[in-house]
Amino acid sequence: MDLLVVGTIAYDSIETPFGKVENALGGSALHFTNAASFFTDVGIVATVGKDFDLSSIGFLEERNVDIRGISIEDGKTFRWEGRYGYDLNQAITLKTELNVIDKFKPRIPDDYFKANFIFLANIDPELQAYVIKQINKKAIIVLDTMNFWIENKFSALIEAIKKVNILVVNESELREITKEYSLIKGAKKIMELGPSFVIVKRGEYGVFMAEKEGIFLTPAYPLEEVFDPTGAGDTFAGGFMGYLANVGEVNSDTIKQAIVMGSVMASFNVEDFGINRIKGLKYDEIRSRYASFKRCLHFEDIEFK
Protein backbone atom coordinates (compact mmCIF):
# COMPACT_ATOMS: atom_id res chain seq x y z
CA MET A 1 0.00 0.00 0.00
CA ASP A 2 1.73 3.14 -1.28
CA LEU A 3 -0.79 5.87 -0.49
CA LEU A 4 -2.57 6.75 2.75
CA VAL A 5 -5.41 9.25 3.11
CA VAL A 6 -6.77 10.59 6.40
CA GLY A 7 -10.05 12.46 6.04
CA THR A 8 -13.82 12.24 6.25
CA ILE A 9 -16.62 10.10 4.91
CA ALA A 10 -19.99 11.82 4.74
CA TYR A 11 -23.55 11.77 3.55
CA ASP A 12 -24.11 14.86 1.40
CA SER A 13 -27.38 16.46 0.37
CA ILE A 14 -26.75 18.79 -2.56
CA GLU A 15 -28.86 21.09 -4.72
CA THR A 16 -27.67 22.80 -7.90
CA PRO A 17 -29.63 24.52 -10.69
CA PHE A 18 -29.43 21.19 -12.52
CA GLY A 19 -30.88 18.86 -9.91
CA LYS A 20 -30.62 17.65 -6.34
CA VAL A 21 -29.60 14.57 -4.40
CA GLU A 22 -30.03 13.52 -0.77
CA ASN A 23 -27.68 11.47 1.41
CA ALA A 24 -25.18 10.88 -1.39
CA LEU A 25 -21.83 9.33 -0.51
CA GLY A 26 -19.20 12.03 -0.04
CA GLY A 27 -16.49 13.36 2.22
CA SER A 28 -12.87 14.25 1.51
CA ALA A 29 -11.42 10.78 2.03
CA LEU A 30 -14.02 9.11 -0.17
CA HIS A 31 -13.71 11.56 -3.09
CA PHE A 32 -9.92 11.34 -2.84
CA THR A 33 -9.82 7.54 -2.76
CA ASN A 34 -12.38 7.21 -5.54
CA ALA A 35 -9.91 8.96 -7.87
CA ALA A 36 -6.55 7.79 -6.49
CA SER A 37 -7.48 4.10 -6.62
CA PHE A 38 -7.26 4.14 -10.43
CA PHE A 39 -3.49 4.60 -10.13
CA THR A 40 -2.26 2.91 -6.95
CA ASP A 41 -3.24 0.96 -3.84
CA VAL A 42 -4.81 3.20 -1.20
CA GLY A 43 -5.38 2.86 2.53
CA ILE A 44 -8.18 5.02 3.92
CA VAL A 45 -8.49 6.31 7.49
CA ALA A 46 -11.82 7.87 8.47
CA THR A 47 -14.73 7.39 10.85
CA VAL A 48 -18.42 6.68 10.24
CA GLY A 49 -21.47 6.13 12.40
CA LYS A 50 -23.47 2.96 12.86
CA ASP A 51 -25.94 4.26 10.28
CA PHE A 52 -23.30 3.88 7.53
CA ASP A 53 -23.70 1.04 5.04
CA LEU A 54 -20.19 -0.34 4.47
CA SER A 55 -21.43 -2.37 1.51
CA SER A 56 -22.00 0.94 -0.32
CA ILE A 57 -18.22 1.33 -0.69
CA GLY A 58 -17.56 -2.28 -1.66
CA PHE A 59 -16.55 -1.08 -5.12
CA LEU A 60 -13.43 0.45 -3.55
CA GLU A 61 -12.26 -2.93 -2.29
CA GLU A 62 -12.57 -4.20 -5.85
CA ARG A 63 -9.92 -1.57 -6.69
CA ASN A 64 -7.63 -2.86 -3.91
CA VAL A 65 -8.49 -0.09 -1.47
CA ASP A 66 -7.74 -1.09 2.13
CA ILE A 67 -10.65 0.03 4.32
CA ARG A 68 -9.39 -1.36 7.64
CA GLY A 69 -8.68 2.21 8.74
CA ILE A 70 -12.40 3.10 8.69
CA SER A 71 -13.70 3.01 12.27
CA ILE A 72 -17.39 2.58 13.06
CA GLU A 73 -18.44 4.56 16.11
CA ASP A 74 -21.64 4.98 18.11
CA GLY A 75 -23.67 7.78 16.61
CA LYS A 76 -24.41 9.08 13.14
CA THR A 77 -22.17 9.65 10.14
CA PHE A 78 -21.04 13.20 9.30
CA ARG A 79 -23.63 14.99 7.18
CA TRP A 80 -23.41 18.10 5.01
CA GLU A 81 -26.16 19.92 3.15
CA GLY A 82 -25.39 22.59 0.59
CA ARG A 83 -26.73 24.52 -2.37
CA TYR A 84 -25.13 26.07 -5.46
CA GLY A 85 -26.42 28.83 -7.69
CA TYR A 86 -25.24 29.31 -11.25
CA ASP A 87 -21.84 30.31 -9.88
CA LEU A 88 -20.70 26.79 -9.10
CA ASN A 89 -17.49 28.09 -7.53
CA GLN A 90 -19.47 29.14 -4.45
CA ALA A 91 -21.29 26.67 -2.20
CA ILE A 92 -23.86 27.83 0.33
CA THR A 93 -23.76 25.59 3.40
CA LEU A 94 -27.28 24.99 4.68
CA LYS A 95 -26.51 22.48 7.42
CA THR A 96 -23.50 20.69 8.89
CA GLU A 97 -23.87 17.80 11.33
CA LEU A 98 -20.44 16.75 12.60
CA ASN A 99 -21.78 13.73 14.48
CA VAL A 100 -19.02 11.11 14.94
CA ILE A 101 -16.22 13.23 13.46
CA ASP A 102 -16.60 15.67 16.35
CA LYS A 103 -14.54 13.21 18.43
CA PHE A 104 -12.55 11.67 15.57
CA LYS A 105 -9.06 10.46 16.47
CA PRO A 106 -7.43 8.58 13.58
CA ARG A 107 -6.76 4.91 14.24
CA ILE A 108 -4.07 3.92 11.81
CA PRO A 109 -3.31 0.21 11.21
CA ASP A 110 0.36 -0.56 11.81
CA ASP A 111 1.20 -1.45 8.21
CA TYR A 112 -0.27 1.86 6.98
CA PHE A 113 2.71 3.63 8.55
CA LYS A 114 4.91 2.27 5.76
CA ALA A 115 3.10 4.30 3.08
CA ASN A 116 5.42 6.52 1.06
CA PHE A 117 2.73 9.08 0.18
CA ILE A 118 0.31 10.63 2.69
CA PHE A 119 -2.66 12.93 2.05
CA LEU A 120 -4.00 14.80 5.06
CA ALA A 121 -7.41 16.07 4.00
CA ASN A 122 -9.02 19.15 5.54
CA ILE A 123 -9.43 17.82 9.09
CA ASP A 124 -8.43 19.54 12.34
CA PRO A 125 -4.76 20.59 12.03
CA GLU A 126 -4.10 19.14 15.48
CA LEU A 127 -5.16 15.75 14.10
CA GLN A 128 -3.00 16.33 11.04
CA ALA A 129 0.00 16.93 13.33
CA TYR A 130 -0.93 13.83 15.35
CA VAL A 131 -0.76 11.72 12.18
CA ILE A 132 2.51 13.32 11.02
CA LYS A 133 4.22 12.29 14.27
CA GLN A 134 3.39 8.63 13.65
CA ILE A 135 4.05 8.04 9.96
CA ASN A 136 7.06 7.14 7.83
CA LYS A 137 9.50 10.05 8.25
CA LYS A 138 10.60 9.71 4.61
CA ALA A 139 7.04 9.89 3.27
CA ILE A 140 5.88 12.65 0.93
CA ILE A 141 3.17 14.45 2.89
CA VAL A 142 0.50 16.61 1.24
CA LEU A 143 -1.81 18.75 3.37
CA ASP A 144 -5.14 20.38 2.58
CA THR A 145 -7.14 22.69 4.83
CA MET A 146 -10.13 25.02 4.78
CA ASN A 147 -11.18 28.47 5.99
CA PHE A 148 -12.70 27.13 9.23
CA TRP A 149 -9.33 25.83 10.45
CA ILE A 150 -7.51 28.96 9.24
CA GLU A 151 -9.87 31.11 11.30
CA ASN A 152 -10.10 28.90 14.39
CA LYS A 153 -6.80 26.99 14.67
CA PHE A 154 -4.32 29.15 12.80
CA SER A 155 -1.27 28.46 14.98
CA ALA A 156 -1.81 24.69 14.88
CA LEU A 157 -2.26 24.87 11.11
CA ILE A 158 1.01 26.77 10.61
CA GLU A 159 2.86 24.18 12.71
CA ALA A 160 1.40 21.38 10.57
CA ILE A 161 2.29 23.18 7.32
CA LYS A 162 5.92 23.42 8.47
CA LYS A 163 6.12 19.61 8.50
CA VAL A 164 4.76 18.79 5.03
CA ASN A 165 6.22 18.66 1.53
CA ILE A 166 3.27 20.03 -0.44
CA LEU A 167 0.39 22.34 0.50
CA VAL A 168 -2.84 22.13 -1.52
CA VAL A 169 -5.36 24.95 -0.99
CA ASN A 170 -7.73 27.15 -2.95
CA GLU A 171 -7.19 30.84 -3.71
CA SER A 172 -9.14 32.25 -0.77
CA GLU A 173 -7.41 29.90 1.66
CA LEU A 174 -3.92 30.87 0.46
CA ARG A 175 -4.80 34.56 0.74
CA GLU A 176 -6.25 34.14 4.21
CA ILE A 177 -3.22 32.19 5.47
CA THR A 178 -0.61 34.55 4.03
CA LYS A 179 -2.47 37.89 3.97
CA GLU A 180 -1.25 38.28 0.38
CA TYR A 181 -3.54 38.82 -2.62
CA SER A 182 -0.86 37.76 -5.11
CA LEU A 183 -0.71 33.99 -5.45
CA ILE A 184 3.01 34.23 -6.21
CA LYS A 185 3.77 36.22 -3.05
CA GLY A 186 1.51 33.98 -0.99
CA ALA A 187 3.14 30.81 -2.30
CA LYS A 188 6.60 32.21 -1.52
CA LYS A 189 5.53 32.83 2.09
CA ILE A 190 4.32 29.24 2.39
CA MET A 191 7.55 27.84 0.94
CA GLU A 192 9.50 29.84 3.54
CA LEU A 193 7.69 27.74 6.16
CA GLY A 194 8.89 24.46 4.67
CA PRO A 195 6.82 23.02 1.79
CA SER A 196 8.66 22.60 -1.52
CA PHE A 197 5.52 22.99 -3.63
CA VAL A 198 2.34 25.04 -3.23
CA ILE A 199 -0.63 24.00 -5.35
CA VAL A 200 -3.60 26.34 -5.62
CA LYS A 201 -6.95 25.00 -6.83
CA ARG A 202 -8.79 27.67 -8.84
CA GLY A 203 -12.01 25.84 -9.72
CA GLU A 204 -13.12 26.38 -13.30
CA TYR A 205 -9.97 28.47 -13.89
CA GLY A 206 -7.58 25.59 -13.33
CA VAL A 207 -4.52 25.16 -11.12
CA PHE A 208 -1.55 27.31 -10.11
CA MET A 209 1.63 25.68 -8.81
CA ALA A 210 4.68 27.36 -7.30
CA GLU A 211 8.11 25.93 -6.54
CA LYS A 212 11.49 27.55 -5.95
CA GLU A 213 12.33 27.26 -9.66
CA GLY A 214 9.21 29.10 -10.79
CA ILE A 215 5.50 28.60 -11.44
CA PHE A 216 3.27 26.34 -13.53
CA LEU A 217 -0.27 27.01 -14.72
CA THR A 218 -2.89 24.80 -16.29
CA PRO A 219 -6.55 25.51 -17.09
CA ALA A 220 -9.41 23.28 -16.07
CA TYR A 221 -10.59 20.81 -18.70
CA PRO A 222 -13.41 22.50 -20.68
CA LEU A 223 -16.80 20.83 -20.24
CA GLU A 224 -20.20 21.39 -21.84
CA GLU A 225 -22.10 20.02 -18.83
CA VAL A 226 -21.32 20.57 -15.14
CA PHE A 227 -23.73 19.19 -12.54
CA ASP A 228 -22.04 19.23 -9.13
CA PRO A 229 -18.60 20.55 -8.10
CA THR A 230 -18.78 19.02 -4.61
CA GLY A 231 -15.63 17.03 -3.93
CA ALA A 232 -13.82 18.24 -7.06
CA GLY A 233 -10.88 19.52 -5.01
CA ASP A 234 -10.46 16.21 -3.19
CA THR A 235 -10.87 14.35 -6.47
CA PHE A 236 -8.12 16.52 -7.95
CA ALA A 237 -5.91 15.63 -4.98
CA GLY A 238 -6.69 11.94 -5.50
CA GLY A 239 -5.68 12.01 -9.14
CA PHE A 240 -2.63 14.11 -8.28
CA MET A 241 -1.34 11.88 -5.50
CA GLY A 242 -2.41 8.63 -7.12
CA TYR A 243 -0.25 9.50 -10.10
CA LEU A 244 2.72 10.52 -7.92
CA ALA A 245 2.51 7.27 -5.95
CA ASN A 246 2.32 5.36 -9.23
CA VAL A 247 5.50 6.88 -10.67
CA GLY A 248 7.24 6.91 -7.28
CA GLU A 249 9.17 10.13 -7.90
CA VAL A 250 8.57 13.70 -6.82
CA ASN A 251 10.25 16.40 -8.89
CA SER A 252 9.20 19.39 -10.96
CA ASP A 253 8.27 17.28 -13.99
CA THR A 254 6.24 14.63 -12.14
CA ILE A 255 4.44 17.30 -10.10
CA LYS A 256 3.32 19.02 -13.32
CA GLN A 257 2.18 15.70 -14.81
CA ALA A 258 0.33 14.88 -11.61
CA ILE A 259 -1.45 18.26 -11.70
CA VAL A 260 -2.71 17.47 -15.19
CA MET A 261 -3.88 14.02 -14.08
CA GLY A 262 -5.61 15.54 -11.06
CA SER A 263 -7.35 18.02 -13.35
CA VAL A 264 -8.49 15.19 -15.61
CA MET A 265 -10.02 13.30 -12.67
CA ALA A 266 -11.70 16.43 -11.29
CA SER A 267 -13.30 17.04 -14.70
CA PHE A 268 -15.09 13.70 -14.42
CA ASN A 269 -16.21 14.37 -10.85
CA VAL A 270 -18.29 17.44 -11.75
CA GLU A 271 -20.27 15.61 -14.45
CA ASP A 272 -22.61 13.97 -11.92
CA PHE A 273 -23.62 14.22 -8.27
CA GLY A 274 -21.41 12.90 -5.51
CA ILE A 275 -19.04 10.09 -6.39
CA ASN A 276 -21.27 8.60 -9.10
CA ARG A 277 -19.33 9.57 -12.23
CA ILE A 278 -15.95 8.35 -11.04
CA LYS A 279 -17.44 5.28 -9.38
CA GLY A 280 -18.46 4.05 -12.84
CA LEU A 281 -15.43 5.43 -14.69
CA LYS A 282 -13.33 3.26 -17.01
CA TYR A 283 -9.57 3.60 -17.38
CA ASP A 284 -9.91 4.07 -21.14
CA GLU A 285 -12.00 7.19 -20.46
CA ILE A 286 -9.17 8.62 -18.36
CA ARG A 287 -6.65 7.93 -21.11
CA SER A 288 -8.91 9.49 -23.74
CA ARG A 289 -9.60 12.64 -21.72
CA TYR A 290 -5.92 13.07 -20.92
CA ALA A 291 -5.14 12.94 -24.66
CA SER A 292 -7.87 15.50 -25.34
CA PHE A 293 -6.59 17.76 -22.56
CA LYS A 294 -3.04 17.56 -23.91
CA ARG A 295 -4.28 18.63 -27.36
CA CYS A 296 -6.01 21.62 -25.76
CA LEU A 297 -2.77 22.68 -24.07
CA HIS A 298 -0.39 22.15 -26.99
CA PHE A 299 0.85 24.75 -29.44
CA GLU A 300 3.86 24.88 -31.74
CA ASP A 301 6.83 27.03 -30.85
CA ILE A 302 6.86 30.60 -32.17
CA GLU A 303 9.97 31.76 -33.98
CA PHE A 304 10.81 35.40 -33.26
CA LYS A 305 12.64 37.26 -36.03
The answer to the question of residue 50 being in a domain is yes
- For the stretch 173-210, pLDDT in tens is 999 999 999 999 999 999 999 999 999 999 999 999 99
Q: Please state, rounded to an integer, the average pLDDT across all residues of the chain.
A: 95
Residue 74 lies in a domain: yes
Q: What is the distance between the alpha carbons of residues 234 and 39, in angstroms, rounded to a whole number?
A: 15
Does a structural domain hold residue 230? yes
Q: Give me the torsion for CA of 203, 226, 77, 241, rounded to 10°.
A: -50
- For range 21-44, the mean pLDDT: 97
Q: What is the per-residue pLDDT for 283?
A: 96
Please state the three-class secondary structure of the chain as a single string.
Answer: CCEEEECCCEEEEEEECCEEEEEEEECHHHHHHHHHCCCCCEEEEEEEECCCCHHHHHHHHHCCCEEEEEEEECCCCCEEEEEECCCCCCEEEEEEECHHHHHCCCCCCHHHHHCCEEEECCCCHHHHHHHHHHCCCCCEEEEECCHHHHHHCHHHHHHHHCCCCEEEEEHHHHHHHHCCCCHHHHHHHHHHHCCCEEEEECHHHCEEEEECCEEEEECCCCCCCCCCCCCHHHHHHHHHHHHHHHHCCCCHHHHHHHHHHHHHHHHHHCCCCCCHHHHCCCHHHHHHHHHHHHHHHCCCCCCCC
Q: Is residue 255 part of a domain?
A: yes
- CATH code, domain carrying 240: 3.40.1190.20
Any domain includes 96: yes
Domains identified in the chain, total number: 1
pLDDT tens-place string over residues 110-163: 889 889 999 999 999 999 999 999 888 899 999 999 999 999 999 999 999 999
Question: Per residue in 207-258, pLDDT tens?
Answer: 999 999 999 999 999 999 999 999 999 999 999 999 999 999 999 999 999 9
Q: What is the pLDDT of residue 224?
A: 92
* Residue 58 within a domain: yes
pLDDT at 89: 82
Domain range for 32: 3-296
Asked if residue 242 is part of any domain, the answer here is yes
Does 1 score more than 80 pLDDT?
no
Phi, psi of 67 (to 5 degrees): -105, 15
The residues that bridge with 84 in the sheet, in sequence order, are 91
Confidence class of residue 105 from pLDDT cuts 50, 70 and 90?
A: confident
Q: Is the pLDDT score of 33 beyond 90?
A: yes
User: CA-to-CA distance for 140 and 250, rounded, in angstroms?
Assistant: 8
Residue 261 is assigned to a structural domain of this protein:
yes
What is the tens place of the pLDDT at every residue in 42-57?
999 999 999 999 999 9
For the stretch 60-104, pLDDT in tens is 999 999 999 999 999 999 999 999 999 888 889 999 999 999 889
